Structures are given as structure tokens and as C-alpha cells.
Amino acid sequence: MLEIKDLTVEVIGKEIIRDLNLNIEEGEVHVLFGPNGCGKTTLLMTLLGFPNYKVTDGCITFKGVDITNLPTNERVTLGMGMSFQHPPEIRGVRLGDMVNIAQGRKEETIDEDVIALAKRLNISVEFLNRDVNLGFSGGEVKRSEILQLLAQSPDFIMFDEPDSGVDVENIELIGVIMSELLDRNKMPSKREKAGLIITHSGSIMRHIKADRAHVMLEGRIACSGMPDEITRNVMETGFERCVELCVRSKEVDAE
Amino acid sequence: MTKKETIERAERAKAKKAAFGEDIAIEKYASGEEHEALNSLDEFPEEYQQDLLDAGIEPSEKDRSGSFLQRDCSVVFSTAKHPGLELMSTTDALKKHDWLKDYLWKAVPVDQDKYTADVELGQTQGYFIRSEPGKKVTMPVQSCLFITSDKTGQKVHNIVIAEENSELHIITGCSVSHAVNSALHLGVSEFYVKKGAKITFTMIHNWSPGMEVRPRSAVVIEADGAFISNYILMTPVKSLQMYPTAYCVGKNARATFQTVIYAHGDTKIDSGTRAVLRGEGSRSEIISRVIATDNAKVIARSDVIGEGTNARGHIECRGLMLSDTAEIDSIPELKATRKDLDLSHEAAVGKVAEEEIQYLMSRGLSEEEATSVIIRGFLNVDITGLPEGLARETKKMFDMSLEKVT
């Protein structure tokens, strides 16, 4: 579904990602670990086509289409979606309006459809009427993002830190909806959606199963492997040690 | 003040320039043509029907408690349907009520500037709206001041009185025919909100690039009275300067002003709002949203003067710039003259944030659609204090005005 080849990305003249390669197939969910500043968010923003993220080399193919130079909304039309970590506030635009927009509806009222969808995330009508992200708590931002994705129903979804600032109760709820959005409840052969989850703490991984995990260091994917193993190594030993272990086991394999 | 004294004061102020706004040569404009009275608003010429609608006027008079239409210098339609509501031209009202003369120039000084003086000396009608004591006129009164003749100087004196414990909702539009290249509108409006009464006043200005406009409005609010103003201007205007002022004189008097301006073309606007908080515990809220694009120049003033114990006033003005050749001057002012009060303001002028556009694009909108959603959101102030039906209608009028610009 998504193929990233030799990707190099600059942000305001500074190289953040170098020669990155990653393939995500239909039905797969990948998780990406990495310390702050390693380029995780840059990768997502680049995949979504935000103008400040300049691809200086390499290419991105999505569903067989070279999207390297496509504007964001055309990528979205092709089936991409994103849950932002720090989405901007927009005054006068309500969360309910965003749900209508995400659903591609011209509807201007917050109707029963929107209310029913919101209910699944314990979001009240009152909350739907609030200006999007204005004064939202960390957990509210996440639920609002996931609600918009439910409405949008993309084929490939990126989640930027869906677990940061979320309390225990809500993290489980978010995990359930993410699993549904990513076809995790279906038989592997029936899964059509794909996803890429960025997590710093890894706590969301207790609630959603991934197929593959990667550790990103200094703008590159430093190691890849089975999610359980990588998660355990990252949590127990830290990113760099995990990468060292990863490299050593590769050397053992080579011998 | 006798009529003679009033005229004398007006005469002395005939050449007195206004404190703000460029000076207008009033003498360029003539008193407009006279027009025949209508039996119903439907009889108003077809070519102007759309202009009426744009100014928020419902020609069928459905869900209206009364209607008033002035064309150039003639009142062509005036009818009140609701018991307890009086609606007629100021001229007729002065003939009917001997006491009304005491309300003239009580809130707005006749010698404030050459424009107020000119309205006194060359007045051409205006409306009188009054709710009787204790009467709640929940359905809105609609009024429209319309200009159809070129070079007209429309000079109206409006008086609105909500007697004790009564309620009045007014939708008023000022509009001009497409055939008019240049015209002048001078409008003096004096509002009196008596004890426990409430007036909501929703005004749509639907001007054109040749219009010079000088409204002069003031409101006197007694104890527990409330005045809520919603002002909308979405069309270009050559020059508009106004500084409506609310005097909260009674205990717990409240004034709310919401102003929404989309200035485009070569529009020049100097729009202020002032609240004078004299009464104990009186409150005011001034909210403005201004967008400037093309070569438009907007000065957005706001001023709260706190004089009474426990007075509270807040100003919130936001500006959005869409062009490098436009200009917004945002000037909030606070003045306190005692210790037990609380005045505050927040002002911000900015651009359409790139980040917001990208966020909306990531939900599938094109850049253009995203910008339009942000602009509409920016102008979308909560219309507060209106009965539900009227709030819905005001929202509709507002959306209709927005359709034209975004």
C-alpha cells in the first residue's frame, strides 16, 4: 500500500530524514519507536505532504501512485488520514463541523449521524459544539482526532502519539477504536486498512496489535523486528541499547 | 431645551468637523425624491426586492411584529401588528406624543458635529419604535432605510424606547440600490432602555462603494436594563465612521456589542464602540471581528469607561488580514475612575494560519475551501441574547452575507 524509497527530507534547510526505506502492505500495522527529535513526526508530516517538509531525494508511492509531490488533500482523497499530536485551534470551527468535513459532507448542522459517531468516543453534543482544539485537554485532543478519523475512514492511517496525555480509561477506548479503524478485528486475510503508529511511551501497544515495529534514530530506521520483542527491548533497555541488540542479532544471523 | 435653542445649537455646529473620519461635503447631496406610500412590502419595486432581502427584511412580513420602510426621504410603509408596539415615522410620532420631544437629542448631543447638526436642520424622517410598559414584543420589528436615487442625502432621526419591563427585538437594514453611484446616509439613533427592559438590535449594513455613511447612535440603559447590538457589514462602502455609545446609567445595566466587518475593495471604515459604566454593577461586553482585504482600511476602536462601583467591562477585538495593501488599526481603550471595578481587553490581529489550512486539508479540503472555512469561522461570533427563532434567523442572514464573500 505504501512504499517509501530512499527518502531524504529537509525542514527549513536542515536535513532531518536521510535515505529512509519503509514498506507497509495492505492489512499491516507498523509501530515506530524513537527518541524525541529523531524524525518520527517529520516522517508523518512528509507522508501527508505538508509544505514545510521538503523531499530532496527519494520517492513515496501510495496505492501505486507516486505521491511525492501531491498536495495534502489529494493524498487524503487517495485514502490517507492522520491523527495529529498537536493539532491547531481553529476559532469558530466546531468539532462537529470538522466531523462533517472529514466525512466529506456539506452539512452545516451537527446532526444525528455526527452525534451517534461521537457517542462511541464518549463525546457529548456539548463538546461537539466547542471550537475545535480550543482549550481541549490532552486526552480530549486524542479523542477528537480519532473521532474525525472515524468519520473520514481512511485506508491508511497515521497516528502521532495517540497515547500521550491520555488517562488509563481513555487509552483503552482509543485502542478499541484504533483497532476497529485498522481492521484489527478481522481475519488477517480480510484486512484492508493499514497504519503507522508513532509512540514514545509504547503504552498504546497494550491495546492494539501491530505486525511490525521499527526504531528510528537520527533520521533513519535503525532496526526493525517483531513488535513484542522490540517493544520489550525499548521499554527495558532504551532506544539505543535496543538498536545495539538488534544489530548484534543480525550479525549472529549472518554468521 | 426648546426647539429654538436646539436649532440655534445645531446652527452653531454646522461647520464642526467630527472627531474621527474624513470630512464629508454634505452639500454635495440633495434631499431625495419623494415616493408614494405602499399598501404592502410586496408592492416595493421588483428590482429592489433582493436588496431588501439582503438587508434582512422579510417582504411577506412573516414572523414580524411590525415593518417600517423608508425610501430615500419618504416613509413608504409602516405598520405595527403587535399589541403594545408602536411603530411610525419620527415625524408622526412627534405629532402624536407631546412628551417625545424630551427624548430628542438627549442621548446624542445635537451639536456633537456637523452631521448631527445637519440631521436637526434638514431631517428627512426616520423611525420611532416603542414597546409599552411590561409588553414583551418577542417577534422582531423590521425596519429598512433604503436609498434609490443618486446623490441623495438621507438624514434620519430614529428614536427607540423600551418602556419599563418591556422587550423589543429589532432587525434593521440599511440598503442602497445598484443604480446609485453616490449617496449620503446620516442616521441619528437614540435608544432608551428603561428599568428592567431589554432591546436587541441587529443591524445589517448593505452599502455600496459610492456610499458615505455617518451613523450617530447612543443608548441610555436604566437599572436592570439590557441592550444587545449585533452589527454586520459585508459589502464595500466608500466611507463609514461611527462610534455608538452605551451609557449604562442604572444599577446592573448591561450592554453587549458584537460587530462583524468584512472590508474589501477600497472600503474605508472607522468603527468604534463605547460603553460608559456609570451604574453600580453595570456591565459591558464589546466583541469585534474585522477582516480586511484588497485595499480596505479599517480602524476598529473600542472604549470602556468605568465609573460605577463593581462595574465590569471587557473588550475582545480580533482582526484578520488577507492582503498586503489592506490595513487594520485596532485601538482598545480602558479608563477607570474608581477602585472597585474590573476592565479588561484583548486584541489580536493576524493572518490565516498556514497550520490551520493544512489541518483542514488533511481532512480532505482544498486550500481554497480550507481558507474559506477559516474565514467563516473567524467571523462566526455567537449571537447571544436573542430569542431562539430570531437567533436562527440572524444566523441565516449572517450566513447569507457570508456567502457573498467566501
pLDDT score, position A247: 74
Q: Do B363 and A76 touch (CB under 8 A)?
A: yes
DSSP string, A26-77: TT-EEEEE--TTSSHHHHHHHHHT-TTEEEEEEEEEETTEE-TT--HHHHHH
Q: Does B363 touch chain A (CB under 8 A)?
A: yes
> How many domains, chain A?
1
Q: Do B373 and A93 touch (CB under 8 A)?
A: yes
Looking at the structure, tell me whether residues B255 and B396 fall in a common domain: no
pLDDT score, position A69: 93
Does residue A172 come out as left (phi exceeding 0), alpha (psi in the -120 to 50 range) or beta? alpha
Return d(Cα A209, Cα A159) in angstroms, integer: 14
Looking at the structure, tell me whether residues B366 and B343 fall in a common domain: no
Looking at the structure, tell me whether residues B317 and B391 fall in a common domain: no
> What confidence tens digit (pLDDT) does each residue in A137-167 have?
988 999 999 999 999 999 999 999 998 888 8
Last residue of a domain, one of B327, B349, B371: B349
Last residue of a domain, one of B349, B372, B388: B349
Return d(Cα A185, Cα A176) in angstroms, integer: 9
Looking at the structure, tell me whether residues B334 and B363 fall in a common domain: no
Coarse DSSP helix, strand, coil percentages of chain A, rounded to the nearest 5 percent: 40, 25, 35
User: Which residues on adjacent β-strands are paired with residue A80?
Assistant: A156
Looking at the structure, tell me whether residues B206 and B238 fall in a common domain: yes
Residues B213/B185, Cβ–Cβ less than 8 Å: yes
- Counting residues of chain B whose pLDDT is more than 70, the rounded percentage is 95
Give, to the nearest 10 degrees, the angle between helix A138-152 and helix A95-102.
30
Q: Do A73 and B373 touch (CB under 8 A)?
A: no
Residues of chain A with Cβ-Cβ distance to B360 below 8 Å are: 90, 101
Residues of chain A with Cβ-Cβ distance to B365 below 8 Å are: 73, 101
Residues of chain B with Cβ-Cβ distance to A106 below 8 Å are: none
Mean pLDDT, residues B218-234:
96
Least Cα separation, residue B208 to chain A (angstroms)? 28
Q: Do A101 and B355 touch (CB under 8 A)?
A: no
Residue B343 has pLDDT above 70, yes or no: yes
Return d(Cα B44, Cα A225) in angstroms, integer: 78
Residues of chain B with Cβ-Cβ distance to A102 below 8 Å are: 363-364
Looking at the structure, tell me whether residues B234 and B263 fall in a common domain: yes
* Per-residue confidence band for A106, with pLDDT thresholds at 50, 70 and 90: confident
Measured CA distances, A165 to A36, A203, A204 (Å): 16, 11, 11
pLDDT score, position B30: 87
Residue A5 has pLDDT above 60, yes or no: yes
Return d(Cα B135, Cα B196) in angstroms, integer: 12
Q: Do B377 and A92 touch (CB under 8 A)?
A: yes
Q: What is the DSSP letter of B83?
A: T
Interface test with A, best of B362, B368, B395, B403 (most A CBs within 10 A): B362
pLDDT score, position B57: 85
Residue B225 has pLDDT above 90, yes or no: yes
Q: Where is pLDDT greater, at B52 or B257? A: B257
pLDDT score, position A136: 94
The CATH number that applies at residue A47 is 3.40.50.300
Shortest CA distance to A133 belongs to which of A102, A167, A97?
Answer: A97
pLDDT score, position B247: 98
pLDDT score, position B323: 93
Q: Where is pLDDT greater, at B49 or A202? A: B49
Find, in chain A, the residue whose alpha carbon is nearest to that of B355. A88
Residue A254 has pLDDT above 60, yes or no: no
Q: Does B364 touch chain A (CB under 8 A)?
A: yes
> What confidence tens digit (pLDDT) does each residue in A12-70 have?
999 999 999 999 999 999 999 988 888 999 999 999 999 999 999 999 999 999 999 99
Lowest-confidence region among A122-131, B55-64, B255-264: B55-64
Find, in chain B, the residue whose alpha carbon is nearest to that of A88. B356
* Per-residue confidence band for A241, with pLDDT thresholds at 50, 70 and 90: confident
Looking at the structure, tell me whether residues B96 and B144 fall in a common domain: yes
Mean pLDDT, residues A164-187:
89
Residues of chain A with Cβ-Cβ distance to B380 below 8 Å are: 92-93
Residues B205/B391, Cβ–Cβ less than 8 Å: no
Containing domain of residue B401, as a range?
352-406
Least Cα separation, residue B364 to chain A (angstroms)? 5
What average pLDDT does chain A have? 91
Q: Where is pLDDT greater, at B349 or B389? A: B349
pLDDT score, position B384: 62
pLDDT score, position A105: 85
Q: Does B355 touch chain A (CB under 8 A)?
A: yes
pLDDT score, position B10: 95
Residue A201 has pLDDT above 80, yes or no: no
Pairing assessment for the beta strands A65-66 and B85-89 based on DSSP bridges: unpaired
Strand, coil or helix: A183? coil
Looking at the structure, tell me whether residues B49 and B89 fall in a common domain: yes
Q: Does B361 touch chain A (CB under 8 A)?
A: yes
B199 half-sphere exposure, CB direction, 13 A CA radius: 35
Residue B33 has pLDDT above 80, yes or no: no
> What confidence tens digit (pLDDT) does each residue in B131-186 have?
999 999 989 999 999 999 999 999 999 999 999 999 999 999 999 998 899 999 99
Interface of B with A in 292-351 (CB under 8 A): 318
Amino acid at A30: H
* Per-residue confidence band for A253, with pLDDT thresholds at 50, 70 and 90: low
Mean pLDDT, residues A88-106:
93
Q: Do A72 and B361 touch (CB under 8 A)?
A: yes
Last residue of a domain, one of B334, B349, B364: B349
pLDDT score, position B50: 83
Residues of chain B with Cβ-Cβ distance to A48 below 8 Å are: 362
Q: Do B355 and A73 touch (CB under 8 A)?
A: no
Residues of chain B with Cβ-Cβ distance to A84 below 8 Å are: 359, 362
pLDDT score, position A82: 97
Please name the member of A73, A90, A148 whose beta carbon is closest to the beta carbon of B374: A90
User: How many residue contacts between A and B have a Cβ separation below 8 Å?
Assistant: 65
Mean pLDDT, residues B273-280:
98
Residue B31 has pLDDT above 90, yes or no: no
Q: Do A101 and B364 touch (CB under 8 A)?
A: yes
Mean pLDDT, residues B219-225:
98
pLDDT score, position B272: 97
Residue B112 has pLDDT above 80, yes or no: yes
Greatest C-alpha distance within chain A: 65
pLDDT score, position B107: 97
In a domain, A185, yes or no: yes
Looking at the structure, tell me whether residues B270 and B371 fall in a common domain: no
Find, in chain A, the residue whose alpha carbon is nearest to that of B380. A92
Amino acid at B319: G
B373, containing H or E segment: helix B367-379
Residues of chain A with Cβ-Cβ distance to B378 below 8 Å are: 91-92
Please name the member of A73, A87, A92 whose beta carbon is closest to the beta carbon of B365: A73
* Per-residue confidence band for B386, with pLDDT thresholds at 50, 70 and 90: low
Strand, coil or helix: B178? coil
* Per-residue confidence band for B280, with pLDDT thresholds at 50, 70 and 90: very high
In a domain, A115, yes or no: no
Mean pLDDT, residues A85-97:
94
ipTM passes above 0.85: yes
Q: Do B374 and A71 touch (CB under 8 A)?
A: no
Q: Does B398 touch chain A (CB under 8 A)?
A: no
Helix residue ranges, H only, B55-173: 90-96, 114-122
In a domain, A222, yes or no: yes
Q: Do A93 and B362 touch (CB under 8 A)?
A: no
Q: Do A90 and B360 touch (CB under 8 A)?
A: yes
Least Cα separation, residue B139 to chain A (angstroms)? 24
pLDDT score, position B381: 73
Looking at the structure, tell me whether residues B258 and B314 fall in a common domain: yes
Would you list which residues of chain A are within 8 Å, Cβ to Cβ, of chain B? 48, 50-51, 71-73, 76-77, 81-82, 84, 87-88, 90-93, 97-98, 101-102, 104, 131, 148, 152
Residues A107/A74, Cβ–Cβ less than 8 Å: no
> What confidence tens digit (pLDDT) does each residue in B51-65 have?
888 787 888 888 899
Mean pLDDT, residues B308-322:
96
* Per-residue confidence band for B261, with pLDDT thresholds at 50, 70 and 90: very high
Looking at the structure, tell me whether residues B104 and B126 fall in a common domain: yes
Shortest CA distance to A117 belongs to which of A128, A129, A106?
Answer: A128
Looking at the structure, tell me whether residues B307 and B356 fall in a common domain: no
Residue B396 has pLDDT above 80, yes or no: no
Coarse DSSP helix, strand, coil percentages of chain B, rounded to the nearest 5 percent: 20, 45, 35
CA A95, A98, A99, A100 torsion: positive or negative?
positive
Strands in A108-199 per DSSP E: 156-160, 194-198
In a domain, A21, yes or no: yes
In a domain, A128, yes or no: no
> How many domains, chain B?
2
Q: Does B379 touch chain A (CB under 8 A)?
A: yes
How many C-beta atoms lie closer than 10 Å to residue A207's C-beta? 18
Strand, coil or helix: B377? helix
* Per-residue confidence band for A250, with pLDDT thresholds at 50, 70 and 90: low
Measured CA distances, A88 to A112, A135, B358 (Å): 26, 11, 10
pLDDT score, position B93: 97
Give residue B227's Cα distance to chain centre: 12
Q: Does B362 touch chain A (CB under 8 A)?
A: yes
Give, to the nearest 10 degrees, the angle between helix B388-403 and helix B367-379.
140
Mean pLDDT, residues A219-247:
84
| Residues in CB range of B350: below 8 A, 6 or more apart | B318, B319, B320, B321
Containing domain of residue A166, as a range?
2-86+155-254
Interface test with B, best of A72, A107, A153, A157 (most B CBs within 10 A): A72
pLDDT score, position B397: 67
